[in-house]
Amino acid sequence: MKYFILFLFVLITSSVSAAEGCVLTSSKAMYTSRSGMSENFNDTNPPVPLGTGCIWIFVAPSTDCNVKIGSGPGQPGKLASTIQECDIDTNAFILLFGSIGFGAFMLRKKREANFSSK
């Protein structure tokens, strides 16, 4: 059973990847189709939408980029990764410590119940 869980963990984590794209300053949409190796992107792929209550994680240092939409001029944006930081990400440590505390409490109660029944 533990090998099956390890296999699932490796399978899931190996398929996770982040790409870079250009986030338009006007619409907060990210375009990931790069034109060559430059900081220019185009709209051949549909844009990646930003989730509700989330922010893009921008590449440091801040890099300017352009997105050419249709036949118009390039629109300005900032280079970012496709990873979004959402509100639950910033509060994950509270959930983690709460779960650990609850587990320790339940183990202590179980141990006390075992000692009192002997």
Residue extents of the structural domains in the chain: 18-116
Global pTM value:
0.56
| Rounded Cα gap, residues 90 and 88, in angstroms | 5
- Rounded to 5°, the CA angle 61-40-20 comes to 55
Contact (CB, 8 A) for 81 and 19: yes
Average model confidence (pLDDT) across the chain: 80
As given in the structure block, the two tokens for residue 84 are 């979004």
| Rounded Cα gap, residues 57 and 21, in angstroms | 11
What phi and psi values does residue 83 have, to the nearest 5 degrees?
Answer: -80, 130
| Rounded Cα gap, residues 38 and 65, in angstroms | 9
| Rounded Cα gap, residues 49 and 29, in angstroms | 5
pLDDT tens readout for residues 25-80: 778 888 888 877 778 888 888 888 887 778 888 877 778 888 888 877 788 888 88
